[in-house]
Structure 1
């Protein structure tokens, strides 16, 4: 099952600092997801001025338990980068 994740950052004055502090670990996690066949694509969500305000990821997991395991270990969650996360099952159009 594929899942599209839209995760929106906290907006307090320290939010960008927290994001940048754990960003290398977040990228390491994304590389591991890719190596394990779970990462399809992802990147930063930007405001009109080009400032990072969140993330979008398209992930592929066999089970919802795998998704939940990833959520438990994602540093952007434990590091208080993402304040709000919207996760929806995703079906790619076959065109």
Structure 2
């Protein structure tokens, strides 16, 4: 089991992405959802995508996304996400980017 101090430099990028709020927002998301999932599944398998999922609104509908990727810089993460159908298809209207330095948990190593 990995032990020791956290990495000294960023190890992951966190994207908090918000869908549009117009009437076309959900249809835009649904139109490209399968293409988005087809792109992120291999990234999850190879460790690039560490965690991802939908942000839900009060009604339980999809209103955005949270994703953590194994990119040491925000620029790398932004370049990688730039090809994603949720960005190219206009689903995500605003994205907050955060560099992070994740450390292994005491009971298992982090993916990616």
Cα drift, residue 92 of structure 1 = 2.6
Matched residue of 1:67: which SS?
A: helix
Quickly say closer, same or farther: Cα 1:62–1:91, change in 2 above 3 A.
closer
Cα drift, residue 51 of structure 1 = 1.1
Gapped runs of 5+ residues in structure 1? none
Matches within 5 A, 1:3-82: 3-82=13-92
Shift >2 Å, 4+ stretches: 62-66, 91-95
Which of the pair has more CA radius of gyration? 2
- For the aligned residue pairs, the C-alpha RMSD in angstroms reads 1.7
Q: What whole-Å deviation, never above 9, does each CA across 1:24-77 have from its counterpart, x for those lacking one?
A: 011111112123321111100001211110000011124555323212201101
Gapped runs of 5+ residues in structure 2? 1-10, 107-112
Q: If each structure's helix is expressed as a fraction of its own residues, which one has the higher value?
A: 1
